[in-house]
Amino acid sequence: MTAKTLGRNLEILEKYRKYADMAELRVDCLDPDERLLIRRFPEQTGVPVILAIRRDIDGGRFIGGEGARISLMARGLAYAETDRRRNFAYLDIEEDLNVPSLEEAARTFGTRIIRSYHNIKGTDADLSARIRSMRRSGDEIVKVSVTSNSTRDVLNLLCAGKECEGQEKILISMGHHGVYSRILAEQFGSLLSYSSALSETDAPAAAPGQIEVRELASLYHFRSINKNTKVYGVLGYPLKATGSPHFFNTVFEMEGNNAVYVPFPADSITDFMEIAKELNVEGISVTVPYKEAIIPLLDFQSEGVRTIGACNTLTLTPQGWLGTNTDANGFSDSLLAFLSKSNFKRQRITVIGAGGAARAVVFELHRLGAKVLILNRTVHKARRLAAPYKFAWGGLDEQGIEKMEKYRDIIIQTTPAGMEGINPNDTADDPAAMYNFSGREEVMDLVYKPKLTTFLKRASNAGCNVQNGYDMLIRQARYQYTQFTGKEFPEHFFSRVQFGEI
Ligand code: ATR
């Protein structure tokens, strides 16, 4: 609770009560006058409350001296009642604060001590030794809250927690790299996870990387995550926005699966795969920029991955990590459904682009019998992609565009050129601006945000049937669901399951 007044904190707690089991009152965020009135806060909340007065060096707002801070803590504990629910349930005392009288007062009336260590700059190397030695008596709960600047930092915290299994502790990896530690508290060996009511602008996040309380409870089903929960997620970097958790968690909930799907931002895939092993992750969606880099880390791979050279799905099997590519099937299913066809025989198709996405597209078009022309800005890449299939190729120039004359039953745009956030002030967001649509082409753009790229808008205005990449996104995710769980995707849920952030 980080609002400036106790009254406002109570209001916020009331609003989010059904999502939270406990509250932490951050006294350092209160206005000075309000700090004097904290003693009655616990009995007004109806939930166990942690009393914390965080110093600025630990990421808090308290800038007074230690004497003033200690007397505020004492004020919080004063006039303790025999009915423990009217007292603070926990007192957060930093490991370097030594006030035996305060600890004694807390213990006498059942207020448990959380012995905390914060590092807002980074993650210490010797965390397990620290966790073991921090407790001053067996009834204290150790809290280690450290900033992760890399995936390696998250791994260090996770391993330190594993080495101290059986000890009551709270482990927090602050920042974006460790965001999943806040969801997988159980797997990290942490007693609880801190969250904020981020939509309340006057109650800012208490620490970087916290997940909004409603999101933690409703999207990630935080409270039902236990040791038996199967863990899945999406691996990418920086992975600031992804719709996949929304999709998978919704299906898991509808199916009654004890499973959770989280974002795994990672700056190192080798460090991340160690984390995946420690967390018993069973399935991973792979996205930008790792679809190619992940291949050497696979134990075995599908023919699609071998030929396409890109992998977007990892499944843990008894023989190790299996890599598959569901983009390929997702693409062809989507295009076939759009055209009401069962294959591409006798279809003459132009593919624009020759990157990773194009490789999956061309693989499928070949498998399903199409005749293809590949056009790319960098011509030699088009030639290289076309060669093994004996397909035609060219540049995105006048000569290349002329070749389209014979390949225009279907046109497929695979480059990120028209995607939101790319080329913001650029007119080059239409990679085939020279091409004039006749109106008879069937046109697909793999981009789904925006719904209509400049390219697709132009096609639509000329009278073409158009389809964006959203349907393909859903279909490849359905294949991933099957790959992960061994079950068919529940078709009756199809219309109800959406990707978030679209
Ligand atoms: P992806 O995995 O999304 O396909 P990629 O492997 O980096 O990403 O490939 C990007 C593709 O989009 C390439 O074919 C690239 O063309 P170049 O090979 O010439 O780089 C193409 N591309 C990206 N931006 C483009 C633009 N503005 N106009 C045309 N093509 C573009």
- Give the pLDDT of residue 427: 54
* Alpha carbon separation from 213 to 159, 173, 178, 196, 317 (Å, rounded): 26, 17, 17, 5, 34
**Cis preceding linkage at 296, omega within 30:** no
Ligand 1: residue whose CA is nearest its atom 2: 356
* 353 within ligand 1 shell (Cβ under 6 A): yes
Known catalytic residue at 457? no
Atom number of ligand 1 nearest to Cα 429: 27
The answer on pLDDT for 292 being more than 70 is yes
Asked whether residue 365 falls in the same domain as residue 462, the answer is yes
* 415 within ligand 1 shell (Cβ under 6 A): yes
- Give the pLDDT of residue 424: 56
**Measured in angstroms, how far is the CA atom of residue 392 from the centroid of ligand 1?**
18
The 10s digit of each residue's pLDDT in 316-366 is: 999 999 999 999 999 999 999 999 999 999 999 999 999 999 999 999 999
The parent domain of residue 260 ranges over 233-324+474-496
Among 227, 257, 292, the domain boundary falls at: 227
Could you tell me the two tokens for 253?
């909930």
Could you tell me the two tokens for 71?
């007397």
The reported pTM is 0.93
Asked whether residue 288 falls in the same domain as residue 345, the answer is no
Atom number of ligand 1 nearest to Cα 426: 27
CATH of the domain at 382: 3.40.50.720
Ligand 1: residue whose CA is nearest its atom 6: 355
Asked whether residue 104 falls in the same domain as residue 192, the answer is yes
The answer on pLDDT for 501 being more than 60 is no
CA 33 from chain centre, in angstroms, equals: 40
Q: Which of 169, 291, 371, 449 is catalytic?
A: 291
Asked whether residue 37 falls in the same domain as residue 159, the answer is yes
Considering the domain boundaries, does residue 219 fall inside one? Answer: yes
Region 240-258 average pLDDT? 92
What share of the chain has pLDDT > 90, as a percent?
Answer: 90
Residue that wins the pLDDT comparison between 203 and 427: 203
Asked whether residue 202 falls in the same domain as residue 348, the answer is no
The answer on pLDDT for 265 being more than 70 is yes
- Give the pLDDT of residue 498: 72
* 224 within ligand 1 shell (Cβ under 6 A): no
CATH of the domain at 170: 3.20.20.70
Q: Which residues in 462-471 are b (16+ Cβ under 10 Å) and which e?
A: eebebbbbbb
Region 428-448 average pLDDT? 95
55 pLDDT band (50/70/90 cuts)?
A: very high
Among 227, 248, 270, the domain boundary falls at: 227
The answer on pLDDT for 189 being more than 60 is yes
426 pLDDT band (50/70/90 cuts)?
A: low
**Bridge pairing between strands 465-467 and 169-174:** unpaired
Query: How many domains are there within the chain?
Result: 3
| Contact between 342 and 336 (Cβ < 8 Å) | yes
The 10s digit of each residue's pLDDT in 68-121 is: 999 999 999 999 898 889 999 999 999 999 999 999 999 998 999 999 999 999
Ligand 1: residue whose CA is nearest its atom 29: 431
Region 140-152 average pLDDT? 97
- Give the pLDDT of residue 1: 97
Region 48-76 average pLDDT? 96
Give the dihedral sign, CA 465/466/472/474: negative
The 10s digit of each residue's pLDDT in 365-381 is: 999 999 999 999 999 99
Tell me which H or E stretch contains 350.
strand 348-352
CB atoms within 10 A of CB 246: 18
CB atoms within 10 A of CB 275: 23
- Give the pLDDT of residue 242: 86
Ligand 1: residue whose CA is nearest its atom 10: 355
Q: Which residue among 311, 362, 383, 415 is best mutated to probe the pocket of ligand 1, counting the most ligand atoms within 8 A of its Cβ?
A: 415
DSSP strands (E only) in 124-229: 141-147, 169-174
DSSP strands (E only) in 95-140: 112-119
The 10s digit of each residue's pLDDT in 217-232 is: 999 999 999 999 999 9
Residue length, the chain? Answer: 502
Considering the domain boundaries, does residue 81 fall inside one? Answer: yes
Atom number of ligand 1 nearest to Cα 353: 14
Asked whether residue 486 falls in the same domain as residue 429, the answer is no
**Measured in angstroms, how far is the CA atom of residue 437 from the centroid of ligand 1?**
22
The answer on pLDDT for 502 being more than 70 is no
* 356 within ligand 1 shell (Cβ under 6 A): yes
- Give the pLDDT of residue 423: 62
**Measured in angstroms, how far is the CA atom of residue 481 from the centroid of ligand 1?**
28
